Amino acid sequence: MTDTLQGQTEAHEQTQPAVTTMPMVKALNAGLRAAMADDDNVLLMGEDIGPLGGVFRVTEGLHAEFGGSRVLDTPLAESGIIGTAIGLAMNGFRPVCEIQFDGFVFPGFNQITTQLAKLTNKHTGALQMPVVIRIPYGGHIGAVEHHQESPETYFAHTPGLRVLSPSTSNDAYWMIQEAIRSPDPVVFFEPKSRYWQKGEVDTSAHGAPLHSSRVVRQGSDATIIAHGAMVTTALQAAELAADEGISLEVVDLRSISPIDFEPVLASVRKTGRLIVAQEASGFVSVGSEIAATVAERAFYSLEAPVLRVSGFDVPFPAARLENDFLPDADRILEAVDRSLAY
């Protein structure tokens, strides 16, 4: 009987489709499940991530599957969550911390930037810190203060941290697993406005290398660089531009630190024009770094100045004003028109 059941199970597994369509939130859940099944040292920590499954249900079902010793509900104390994760990493575990909302990360900012980011360097590589900090980030969900932020630049500026942001379900599935396997601390920004956006996930083929950017739409007239939720907005702008006979190339950064600049530079050398789009405020930002690097390394390929489209340099406003603050396809296209006018 046991052999018969095992044979039926194996046959069922073999018939499961390798490519399925799921929203990003389910892809992250599947990626976490795969990482936990693969390594007993992977632990999940965060506020309400246990039986509830987290505010966004990213960890739904994992507490029941792996138990309360591996999916831990924590007190409402981000500094304590990160500090505990550091201690766990020192003792051979791979903790994955969920910060419930982007604006809640700042009470743990000191632990991340002054401890977690520096310990491996302080020990000349002998002490690894395989800690992942998951942060839902960005706008477009109509949330209240402290629940809609784009703080990625703070962490990208901090040496010792890897900073990632997937834009698709497939990337979310593969990148969270790679982040957990990394020997270094990873700040993993999840664009919460895209949590319910469906996409194909291929569980049979490994995704792109962790710190690689990639062209997601070919074009010839100008390049748009984006990451996270803004990739979808950039693709929307490219579709609208195509109706006007303008060909826009879109590059998804995927990794914010380090940045894989080669596809970016190759695209700029091809099109001669660059627009960088992001939800975060523009001053001293990821977009600023891209603009500076392109100016340094591809200056003679540029037919126009690099233009940045970003959130305004004010605190993230109340929900009723978020659509005025956040860049949309029209703002990107306005920058494209300015670039093409040179």
pLDDT in tens, 185-234: 999 999 999 999 999 999 988 878 999 999 999 999 999 999 999 999 99
For range 62-85, the mean pLDDT: 97
- Residue 147: active-site member: yes
CB 219 within 8 A of CB 271: yes
Asked if pLDDT for residue 7 goes beyond 90, the answer is no
Among 140, 147, 211, 227, the active-site one is 147
Instruction: Give CA–CA dist 109/82, Å, rounded.
Output: 9
For range 260-264, the mean pLDDT: 97
Supply the mean pLDDT for the chain. Answer: 94
- pLDDT at site 16: 56
- pLDDT at site 4: 44
What tokens were used for 203? 């569980």
Asked if pLDDT for residue 12 goes beyond 90, the answer is no
Reported as a pLDDT band with limits 50, 70 and 90, residue 142 is: confident
Higher pLDDT, 8 or 262: 262
Higher pLDDT, 256 or 8: 256
The percentage of residues in the chain with a pLDDT greater than 90, rounded to a whole number, is 89
pTM for this entry: 0.92
- pLDDT at site 279: 96
Domains and CATH numbers, the chain: 2-202 (3.40.50.970), 214-340 (3.40.50.920)
For the chain, count helices (H), then strands (E).
13, 14
- pLDDT at site 205: 84
Asked if pLDDT for residue 106 goes beyond 50, the answer is yes
CB neighbour list of residue 281: distance below 8 Å, 6 or more residues apart: 150, 310, 311, 312, 313, 314
- pLDDT at site 31: 98
Alpha carbon distances (Å) from 25 to 6, 61, 138, 210, 280: 31, 13, 15, 19, 22
What tokens were used for 302? 């540029």
For range 234-253, the mean pLDDT: 98
307-311 and 274-281 as β-strands: parallel, antiparallel, unpaired? Answer: parallel
For range 52-58, the mean pLDDT: 96
